[in-house]
């Protein structure tokens, strides 16, 4: 039962994939760009959901999928033209199907709008081409047959006439299989009708010229007997006559009382066959793991947990390897050379191993991209705008987690582009642009990152409005002049939304700042380029995985910390001439005409002081564009394995995770965005005398 | 017995494979008829169980292709499907399908049937 | 199979009346934890301190690739910070949802204690007393059974 529950889980996971695919195919139809491949794909997706639902006795799902499938079948076969069909009905059915899958997973029921059911029926021209098979009506635990059935018939002869088509043998059927199935019901008498056999010279050994009459002495119902053999024989190839109808029973069975030797031989194995079946049904425990299973190509389904374990192990190898690298420096030169060579290979192999394990977790961004066409269409309708969505690089792969986390920011940015970026058709015409705007979404690999860009050919960011808003809120000084890039970047500032009116599409407040925060939480970066009147382009750079990150290792006091490389703007030696003390014990660093607040990591994190922190790491944070963090030493760049700290201790402010360095010791990975807020609270701590702060 | 199991739906393939493996059968999997044909030549199964509706090459086309092969006449092919319409069944038989089982399949029935076919 | 099983290669807690206790000493006190909670006992290794953590949180260590937090039992019991020596050990305990290390001076023994010898911990408001679950009386000795979830708590009640 556990295994069944597990497969059920797999089924629902698979359903999610199917509904995702379905959405893409339906979108293609709605846009009138559907190929027969799309229609077939949609049909198969629904068909597969139905098939699995049938296997698990999810009758509501089966019934709905069946009707839906009938519509898609009508399109597929050309009975209904895809250009003339009301595709909206299918889109709606797609949504209902998705919800039904969800409901079935939760064991819930979902009422289905009868209007939709009627629309589906009308779609394929009346009733579905075939009634819902009775098999699908069964509950997950079907009641035993005898419960509802009339009293079991008593033992009596039942006659089965078998008149197979001439091609029987071409179907690789040994007629004995059918006889055995019958023998399972009781003593069998068999007669063979050889009258149709032609003269030997015209005999084709592959053509069946035989017919049989079998009389079974049994208490089984005729229905049960039909069921036992109709999987082998077509309906017209056999008849079952209840023995109580003696006329029928005796008529064909002329030699019924004297069964031929072969017939006997066939009838005998009955018990043996069922014993065999029993042996088959009772596997030896070891057999479950299927010894001798061959690598058949194809795919297997693996628990994410297992892959994560594998990833962890790879992470540990990475650590061990950096441990060895550290040791190598202690070896005498002659030995070191050989050792370092071997390490070099190990390094390469580990990277490769890591890449391969990561590849297992990788998914194409298509999974998310597929949801966008529909979104754009809905927005077109609600905003009264026209847009063409162009997707590129859908097959670019990235870690499953990133794909999942990508959906929200992407959807948000599409909304933004549609709502704020693209102009209304009239405005576009007035601006000498085609009525229909273009939104491009593309993905590509760039080094160890994935770049995703979302661009539109709309009006671009309204810089003046942004600047005006920022000034009125005191975010920038009245006399400060911003470069166009700086002005555009204000769009990421919390609370600055460019839309003059609040729409239900973008709403108020939930703006690009949230998108940026989400992206940065994944270790990514987002940038914007805008050209007034011509459009706007956002570019997301994301790591390919969350399991490892490229870090900059620094030392503060005796401790080492890791900065995500993605948050670092630059590192430099601190020149005391650029430090400007402020009243109140703070100081700032002059940085090419800008100022960056300086904080000392040791103050922030309560670390015992050792050195005088001659280096600074300049980072970019959510709230402070440039923050200078003073540290004792910049140790170097290194890829580190991310280890969750929350699950092994608790959330620690200013720390996003931990990692293990080459010497086996733990180092904390800093949560750069949390650091500015910590400076506020740490001010209460007794100030330490250092060279930058005023004591 | 070596069984080739063809189904494009992972869930059902999984269900099928587990049932068969639990009964000590050697199972070879394929995702569609075309892959099924490759596996058929390479792995020489004793029995084939195939889905009907699949991309690339469906169950009936697969069956027809197997039967057209010089070595494909002897191997029983069971079509496992949600379809129970008799005209499709008949088409399956014309293509050379040995048996037709309607999903939801009853694992015991399938194993019984294999037991019978094994003879 | 498990680490706990290795430890109890010693007499098994044959009856439900007996409880195996891993005992250790801090100064002249004997303390203990139930053997089931103990995953392993390992030597001291440097910890990585955690910012803004309670003073008895020494930091985190790498336990074969897993990160676990290590707690200074002395400090938790109000006996001043631990001096790490060669006999110092970290008892790795299972807190249910996570593992944690408890730094103690030295491990003394694994003993069987009848449950009848368990006494409720006295309700005295001394520092660290909230970290005791029970007192076990053994001849002239009293063994303080630790409440592990209270040991790792950062705000003593």
Q: Give the integer Cα–Cα distance in Å for A120 and A71.
A: 7
| A479-483, A534-538, A546-550, A638-642: the lowest-pLDDT one | A546-550
Mean pLDDT of A244-271: 39
pLDDT of B105 above 70: no
pLDDT of residue A126: 60
Chains B and C, touching by 3 or more CB pairs within 8 angstroms: no
- The answer for A 206-245 residues in CB contact with B (under 8 A) is 206, 230-232, 234-235
pLDDT per residue over A259-274, tens digit each?
Answer: 333 333 333 333 333 4
pLDDT for the residue numbered C15: 53
pLDDT bucket at A537, cuts 50 / 70 / 90: very high
Q: Which residues contact A397 (CB under 8 A, 6 or more apart)?
A: A359, A362, A363, A364, A365
Residues in chain A: 695
Q: Where are the domains of chain B?
A: 2-117
By Cβ distance, the residue of C48, C57, C62 closest to A559 is: C48
**Segment C2-32, tens digit of pLDDT:** 443 344 444 444 456 788 888 888 877 889 9
pLDDT digits (tens, 9 = 90+) for A177-220: 888 888 888 888 888 887 777 776 666 766 777 888 888 888 88
- pLDDT for A662: 76
Most confident option among A247-251, A495-499, C33-37, C77-81 = C33-37
Residue A390 pLDDT > 90, yes or no?
yes
For chain C, the domains span 3-151
- By C-alpha distance, the chain B residue nearest A174 is B117
| Alpha-carbon distance values, A610 to A493, A601, A603, B112, C59 (Å) | 37, 12, 12, 78, 19
Q: In whole angstroms, what is the distance from residue A42 CA to residue A68 CA?
A: 10
Those residues with Cβ within 8 angstroms of residue A202's Cβ, 6 or more apart along the chain or in another chain: none
Q: How far apart are CA C77 and CA C131, in angstroms?
A: 8
> What pLDDT does residue C78 have?
84
Mean pLDDT calculated for residue range A659-664: 82
Q: Which of B43, B3, B1, B11 is nearest to B27 (CA)?
A: B3
C20 vs A549, higher pLDDT: C20
Tokens of A68: 């839906």
pLDDT at C68: 93
- Lowest mean pLDDT segment, chosen from A90-104, A138-152, A301-315, A651-665: A138-152
Residues β-bridged to residue C18? C114
- A133 to B102: CB separation less than 8 angstroms, yes or no: yes
Q: Would strands A535-543 and A449-456 be described as parallel, antiparallel, or unpaired?
A: antiparallel
Regarding pTM above 0.90, the answer is no
Measure the CA–CA gap between A393 and A366, rounded to whole angstroms: 8
Closest alpha carbon to A458 in A503, A491, A415, A418: A418
Q: What is the pLDDT of residues A551-567, one digit of tens each?
A: 899 998 888 999 988 88
**Residues near A444 by beta carbon (within 8 Å), at least 6 away in sequence:** A393, A396, A450, A451
Q: How many other CB atoms are there within 10 angstroms of residue A557's CB atom?
A: 19
Which B-chain residues 26-45 have CB contacts (< 8 A) with chain A? 26-31, 35, 38-39, 43
Provide the 10 A C-beta neighbour count for residue A142.
Answer: 13
SS3 content of chain C, % helix, strand, coil (to 5): 15, 45, 40
Whether residue B40 has pLDDT greater than 50? yes
* List of residues 6+ apart from A31 with CB closer than 8 A: A373, A377
pLDDT score of C4: 39
Strand partners, A116: none
SS3 string, A36-66, reads: HHHHHHHHHHHHHHHHHHHHCCCHHHHHHHH
pLDDT at A244 over 60: no
The verdict on a CB contact (< 8 Å) between C52 and A315 is no
Beta bridge partners of A633: A555
Give chain C's mean pLDDT.
Answer: 80
pLDDT of residue A692: 30
Q: How confident is the model at residue A276 (pLDDT cuts 50, 70, 90)?
A: very low
Q: According to the model, what pLDDT value does residue B118 have?
A: 67
Give ∠ CA A236-A240-A243 in degrees, rounded to 5. Answer: 160
Q: Which helix (H) or strand (E) holds C33?
A: strand C29-34
Q: Which of C42, C45, C48 to mutate to test the interface with A (most CBs of A within 10 A)?
A: C48
- The CATH code that applies to domain C3-151 is 2.40.50.180
Confidence of residue A680 (pLDDT cuts 50, 70, 90): low
- pLDDT tens digit sequence for C81-120: 878 887 788 999 999 888 999 998 887 788 888 888 888 7
**pLDDT confidence bin for A147, thresholds 50/70/90:** very low
pLDDT tens profile A17-52: 888 889 888 888 888 788 888 888 898 889 888 878
Torsion of CA A653, A606, A622, A518, to 10 degrees: -30
- Least trusted range by pLDDT, from A149-153, A449-453, B1-5, B33-37: A149-153
> What mean pLDDT is predicted for residues A645-671?
86
Closest chain B C-alpha to A513 CA, distance in angstroms: 41
Asked if the C-beta of B46 comes within 8 angstroms of chain A's C-beta atoms, the answer is no
For the stretch A148-186, pLDDT in tens is 445 566 788 888 888 888 878 778 787 888 888 888 888
Domain B2-117 class, CATH top level: alpha beta
In the numeric block, the tokens 């007629």 are attached to A175
Closest CB to A559 among C49, C53, C67: C49
Neighbours of A259 (CB within 10 A): 21
**Across A5-28, average pLDDT:** 84
Nearest CB neighbour to A55, from listed B30, B93, B104: B104
The per-residue pLDDT for A514 is: 78
pLDDT at residue A132, rounded to an integer: 43
For residue B91, which phi and psi values (nearest 5 degrees)?
-65, -40
Residue predicted with more confidence, B45 or B86: B45
Q: How confident is the model at residue B84 (pLDDT cuts 50, 70, 90)?
A: low
Q: Which of A98-107, A260-269, A661-670 has the lowest mean pLDDT?
A: A260-269
Beta bridge partners of A189: A215
Mean pLDDT of chain A: 76
Q: What is the DSSP string of chain B?
A: -EEEEE-SSHHHHHHHHHHHHHTT-EEEEESSHHHHHHHHHHH--SEEEEESS-SSS-HHHHHHHHHTSTT-SSS-EEEEES---HHHHHHHHHHT-SEEEESSP-HHHHHHHHHHHT-
Q: How far is A515 from B7, CA to CA, in rounded Å? A: 41
pLDDT at residue C100, rounded to an integer? 94
Tell me how far the alpha carbon of residue A555 is from its chain's centroid: 40
Lookup result for tokens 């938790």: C76
The pLDDT-based confidence of C60 (bands split at 50, 70, 90) is very high
Query: Residue A9's pLDDT is what?
Result: 80
């Amino acid at each position: 039962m556990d295994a069944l529950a597990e497969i059920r889980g797999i089924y629902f996971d698979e359903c999610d994939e199917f509904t995702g695919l379905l959405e893409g195919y339906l979108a293609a139809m709605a846009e009138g760009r559907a190929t027969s491949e799309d229609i077939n794909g949609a049909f198969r997706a629904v068909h597969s959901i139905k098939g699995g639902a049938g296997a698990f006795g999810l009758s509501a799902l089966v019934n709905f999928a069946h009707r839906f499938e009938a519509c898609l079948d009508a399109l597929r076969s050309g009975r209904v033209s895809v250009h003339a069909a009301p595709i909206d009905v299918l889109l709606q059915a797609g949504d209902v199907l998705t919800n039904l899958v969800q409901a079935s997973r939760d064991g819930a029921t979902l009422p289905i709008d009868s209007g939709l059911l009627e629309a589906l029926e009308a779609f394929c021209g009346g009733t579905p081409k075939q009634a819902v098979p009775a098999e699908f009506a069964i509950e997950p635990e079907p009641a035993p047959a005898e419960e509802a059935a009339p009293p079991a018939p008593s033992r009596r002869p039942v006659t089965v006439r078998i008149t197979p088509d001439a091609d029987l043998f071409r179907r690789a059927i040994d007629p004995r299989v059918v006889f055995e199935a019958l023998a399972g019901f009781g003593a069998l008498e068999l007669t063979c009708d050889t009258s149709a056999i032609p003269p030997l010279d015209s005999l084709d050994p592959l053509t069946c010229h035989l017919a049989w009459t079998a009389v079974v002495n049994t208490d089984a119902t005729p229905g049960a007997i039909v069921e036992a053999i109709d999987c082998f024989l077509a309906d017209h190839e056999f008849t079952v006559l209840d023995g109580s109808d003696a006329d029928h029973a005796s008529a064909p069975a002329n030699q019924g009382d004297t069964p031929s030797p072969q017939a006997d031989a066939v009838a005998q194995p009955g018990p043996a066959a069922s014993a065999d079946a029993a042996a088959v049904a009772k596997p030896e425990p070891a057999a479950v793991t299927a010894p001798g299973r061959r690598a058949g190509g194809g795919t297997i389904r693996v628990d994410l947990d297992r892959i994560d374990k594998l990833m962890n192990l790879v992470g540990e190898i990475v650590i061990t390897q950096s441990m060895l690298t550290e040791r190598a420096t202690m070896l005498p030169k002659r030995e070191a050379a050989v050792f370092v060579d071997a390490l070099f290979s190990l390094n390469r192999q580990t990277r490769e191993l890591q890449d391969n394990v990561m590849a297992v977790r990788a998914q194409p961004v298509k999974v998310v991209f597929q949801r966008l066409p529909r979104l754009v269409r809905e927005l077109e309708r609600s905003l009264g705008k026209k847009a063409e969505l162009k997707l590129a690089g859908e097959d670019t792969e990235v870690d499953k987690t990133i794909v999942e986390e990508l959906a929200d920011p992407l959807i948000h940015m599409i909304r933004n582009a549609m709502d704020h970026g693209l102009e209304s058709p009239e405005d576009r015409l007035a601006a000498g642009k085609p009525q229909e705007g273009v939104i491009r979404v593309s993905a590509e690999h760039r080094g160890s990152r994935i770049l995703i860009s979302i661009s539109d050919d709309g009006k671009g960011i309204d810089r003046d409005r942004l600047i005006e808003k920022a000034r009125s809120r005191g975010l920038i000084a009245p006399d400060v002049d911003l470069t166009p890039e700086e002005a555009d970047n204000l769009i990421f500032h919390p609370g600055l939304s460019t839309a003059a009116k609040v729409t239900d599409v973008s709403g108020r407040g939930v703006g690009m700042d949230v998108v940026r925060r989400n992206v940065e939480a994944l270790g990514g970066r987002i940038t914007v380029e805008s050209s007034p009147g011509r459009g706007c382009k956002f570019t997301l750079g994301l790591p390919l995985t969350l399991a490892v990150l490229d870090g900059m290792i620094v030392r503060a006091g005796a401790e080492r910390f890791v900065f995500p490389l993605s948050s670092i703007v630059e590192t430099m030696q601190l020149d005391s001439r650029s430090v400007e003390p402020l009243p109140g014990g703070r100081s700032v660093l002059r940085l090419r005409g800008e100022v960056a607040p300086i904080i000392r990591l040791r103050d922030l994190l309560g670390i015992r002081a050792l050195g005088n922190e001659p280096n600074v790491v300049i980072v970019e944070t959510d709230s402070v564009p440039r923050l200078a963090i003073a540290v004792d030493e910049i140790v170097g760049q290194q890829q580190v394995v991310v280890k969750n700290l929350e699950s092994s201790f608790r959330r620690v402010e200013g720390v996003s995770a931990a990692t293990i360095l080459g010497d086996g010791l733990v180092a904390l990975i800093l949560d750069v965005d949390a650091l500015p807020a910590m400076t506020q609270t740490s001010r209460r701590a007794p100030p330490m005398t250092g060279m930058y702060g005023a004591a | 017995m070596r069984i080739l199991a063809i189904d494009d739906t992972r869930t059902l393939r999984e269900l099928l494979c587990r049932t068969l493996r639990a009964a000590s059968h050697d199972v070879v999997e394929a995702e569609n008829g075309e892959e099924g044909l490759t596996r058929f030549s390479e792995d020489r199964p004793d029995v084939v169980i195939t889905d009907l509706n699949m991309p690339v090459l469906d169950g009936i086309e697969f069956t027809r292709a197997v039967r057209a092969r010089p070595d494909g006449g002897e191997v029983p092919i069971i079509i496992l499907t949600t379809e129970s319409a008799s005209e499709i069944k008949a088409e399956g038989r014309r293509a050379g399908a040995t048996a037709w089982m309607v999903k939801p399949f009853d694992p015991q029935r399938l194993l019984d049937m294999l037991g019978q076919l094994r003879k | 199979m498990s680490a706990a099983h290795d430890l109890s290669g010693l007499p098994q807690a044959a009856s439900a009346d007996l409880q195996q206790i891993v005992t250790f000493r801090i100064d002249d006190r004997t303390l203990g934890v139930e053997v089931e909670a103990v995953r392993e006992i390992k030597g001291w290794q440097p910890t990585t301190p955690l910012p803004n953590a309670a003073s008895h949180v020494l930091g985190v260590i790498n336990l074969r690739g897993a990160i676990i937090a290590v707690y200074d039992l002395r400090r938790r019991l109000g006996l001043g910070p631990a001096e790490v020596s060669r006999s110092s050990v970290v008892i790795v305990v299972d807190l249910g949802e996570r593992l944690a290390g408890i730094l103690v001076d030295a491990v003394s023994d694994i003993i069987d204690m009848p449950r009848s010898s368990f006494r409720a911990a006295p309700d005295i408001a001394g520092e660290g007393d909230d970290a005791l679950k029970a007192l076990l009386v053994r001849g002239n000795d009293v063994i303080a059974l630790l409440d592990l979830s209270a040991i790792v708590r950062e705000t003593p009640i």
